[in-house]
Structure 1
Amino acid sequence: MADNKQSFQAGQTAGRAEEKSNVLMDKVKDAATSAGASAQTAGQKISETAGGAVNVVKEKTGINK
């Protein structure tokens, strides 16, 4: 009887560990997605800033005319 109880408890423990692992993986995926979106936004801002700087240089040097 002790063997059945121990097997049951081991199964419960394994199930809880798997669930915690799944929750952790979901959190990691969410963090990675958020970081990717932040990096993309930062890249867009840098590109826009660089484009604006190019336009300023063109205006100042008369290349735009």
Structure 2
Amino acid sequence: MPSSEERRCPHTAGWLEDGGVSQCRACGVLRFADYGAVRPPRAAAALSARSRPATPATPAPDTPAPP
């Protein structure tokens, strides 16, 4: 989640450019060339699926059992 400084920065201090990535001089947010996406300077938290015990799939009621 971006800090309040990153959310409020108008990015008027200019951009440092390096190989298709620009960084705001004031707040450090990154902008990627070609499509203008903006990402805060810190790494995003990793998201993963909740682990749960493996259970076999159950066939649909109208599906014949496999041979």
Comparing both chains, which one has the higher relative contact order based on Cα–Cα distances under 8 Å and sequence gaps of 6 or more?
2
TM-score relative to the length of structure 1: 0.22
Which structure: larger Rg? Answer: 1
Higher strand share: 2
